[in-house]
Amino acid sequence: MTQSTLFTLDQLRSIMRRCAGVDESVDLDGDVADATFAELGYDSLAVLEITAQIRQELGVAVPDGAIEELTTPRHIVTYVNDRPAAG
């Protein structure tokens, strides 16, 4: 991907849905950017799975140490957009 294509919240939603599922009590299409993953029903393993999927699809690796800081969808979107893809 090129620098001009920004990673969007909708793309993240799609990855979350696909690889980790959605809790029935959560409206993932709603205003979730600043909700914590825990509030959205995603545990640490789910976030690991989501970041692994991002690495596969976008080539952006998220080191394990960084994952604990990425507690909301907005954090992940920002993190990905701040880093160039590995190619």
Partner 1 sequence: MTATAVVTGIGVVAPNGLGVEAYWSATLAGRGGLRRITRFDPTGYPVQVAGEVGDFVAAQRLPGRLIPQTDHWTHLGLTAAELALADAGVDPATVPEYELAVVTASSSGGTEFGQKEIEKLWSKGPVFVGAYQSIAWFYAATTGQISIRHGMRGPCGVICTEQAGGLDALGQARRMVRHGTRLAVTGGTDASVCPYGVVAQSATGLLSGRADPARAYLPFDADASGYVPGEGGAMLVVEDAAAALARGARTYGQVAGYAATFDPPPGSGREPGLRRAAELALADAGLPLDAVDVVFADAAGVPEADRHEAATIARLFAGRPVPVTAPKTMTGRLYAGGAALDVAAALLALRDQVVPPTVGVDRLAAGCELNLVRDRPRPARLGTALVLARGHGGFNAAAVITSAAPVITSAAPVITSATAVIAAADREERN
Which residues of the shown chain bind partner 1 in the complex (CB under 8 A)?
Answer: 18-24, 41-42, 45-46, 48-49, 52, 55-56
Least distance CB 84 / partner 1 (angstroms): 18
- Provide, for the chain, the percentages of residues in helix, strand and coil under a 3-state DSSP scheme, each rounded to the nearest 5: 45, 0, 55
Closest to partner 1 by CB, 18 vs 29, is 18
Least distance to partner 1 from the beta carbon of 54, Å? 11
- Token code pair at residue 75: 């954090």
> Measured from the CB atom, is 6 or 29 closer to partner 1?
29
- The rounded distance, in Å, linking the Cα atoms of 2 and 19 is 24
